[in-house]
Structure 1
Amino acid sequence: MKITPEISIEELIEEMPESVKFLRDKGIICVICGEPVWGTLYDLASEKGFTDAEIDEIVNELNSL
């Protein structure tokens, strides 16, 4: 599976459970009370103040895991 910025958080977590810790370590909380946050990886990272370039780097790192 290739991860893109447009992937939903729910799909990302289903396909790649280790992404929860990876994103948390980056300061992006994607699970609250055991449930995924709604929206896309891009939406969530943007809300946390990440630039497009930083989001692209996160996506590249996720694809490398």
Structure 2
Amino acid sequence: MIDKNTTIEELVNIKPSSVDFLRKKGIVCVKCGEPIWGTVFEVCKEKGFSDEEIENIIKELNNLP
């Protein structure tokens, strides 16, 4: 299960479809073919998402195929 402490590297390995999902939200999680560092929470916070928005993003990530 994906949570706020899931690293981007883990996320990309667990749910490859997350790359496109996050890109559409303005979050680039892969650069030069390699996942960026940090957790889902850290990356979302850097982009200015609120805690509530991050919770919703995590729920959506868990529902991705």
Is TM more than 0.5 here?
Answer: yes
List 4+ stretches of structure 1 deviating above 6 A: none
Please give the TM-score of this superposition, normalised by the length of structure 2: 0.95
- Normalised by the size of structure 1, how large is the TM-score? 0.95
Residue 31 of structure 1 corresponds to: 30
Over the aligned positions, Cα root-mean-square deviation in angstroms equals 0.5
SS of residue paired to 1:27: coil
Gaps of at least 5 residues in structure 1 are none
- Count of aligned positions: 64
Deviations 1:15-56 (A, max 9, x none): 110000000001110001111000100000000000000000
